[in-house]
Amino acid sequence: MKTKTGLLFGSFNPVHIGHMIVAGYMHQFTDLDKVWFVVSPENPLKDKRQLLAGHHRLAMLKTAIRDNPTLDVTDIEFQMPRPSYTIDTLTKLSERYPDHELVLITGTDILGSLSQWKNYRALLEFYKLYIYNRPGFDKREFASHPSIHYFDAPLIEVSSRFIRQAIAAGKDVRYMLPPGVWEYIREMHFYEK
């Protein structure tokens, strides 16, 4: 039997408690055996000036998940052509890990643009999507598609952007970050002005 593995994509710049809550919820309250964080080297829609080097974002994620064997992190997109597309990453991971049934974990915020994704029909044909609520977005689009499953994960309105801005303003946001990540950021003086 294949290991059912959820994939949570993102820049994780930095990883925060919202990411961890979604990952933990999806593992504990769905049929997923594992959850992997897929670190994106860059996002063409986001400002690259504050994007930490990939090895730092990977290190923070490894720190965040170190005590949980059901969570893992992959840097597969760092070895792929850019920009990376979700369907290509899923295909590459499926080839590399044939003993895993891969499931895409994402928020309701992507539903409005899903039909613009590269090969989105193939994505829906070959993979399941586990969708969690995001503040301000509803789930009407693709609501009845058999590959899409909705889960009422807790709504967390913290974002990596908020964390970066708060640190730049000299705020102590340690409780919005997984244990060890705040110390890593402070030691490296990341996101400070």
Report pLDDT digits (tens) over 19-55: 999 999 999 999 999 999 999 997 655 666 779 999 9
Q: Tokens 């402070």 sit at which residue?
A: 186
Share of the chain above pLDDT 90, in %: 79
> Which has the closest alpha carbon to 142: 163, 111, 96?
111
Q: Write down the pLDDT at residue 144.
A: 80
pLDDT tens-digit profile of 135-173?
776 666 677 889 999 998 988 889 999 999 999 999 999
pLDDT tens-digit profile of 83-128?
889 999 999 999 999 999 999 999 988 888 898 999 999 999 999 9
Q: Write down the pLDDT at residue 97.
A: 98
- 18: exposed, middle or buried (Cβ count in 10 Å: 0-12, 13-18, 19+): buried
Domain boundaries, the chain: 3-159
Mean local confidence (pLDDT), 62-86: 95
CB 38 within 8 A of CB 74: yes
Q: Write down the pLDDT at residue 134.
A: 79
20-25 CB contacts, 8 Å cutoff, 24+ apart: 20/64, 20/178, 21/153, 21/154, 21/156, 22/105, 22/132, 22/153, 22/156, 23/71, 23/105, 25/132, 25/151, 25/153, 25/154
* Tokens of residue 151, six digits: 């889960």
> What pTM, to 2 d.p., does this model score?
0.93
3-159: what CATH class? alpha beta
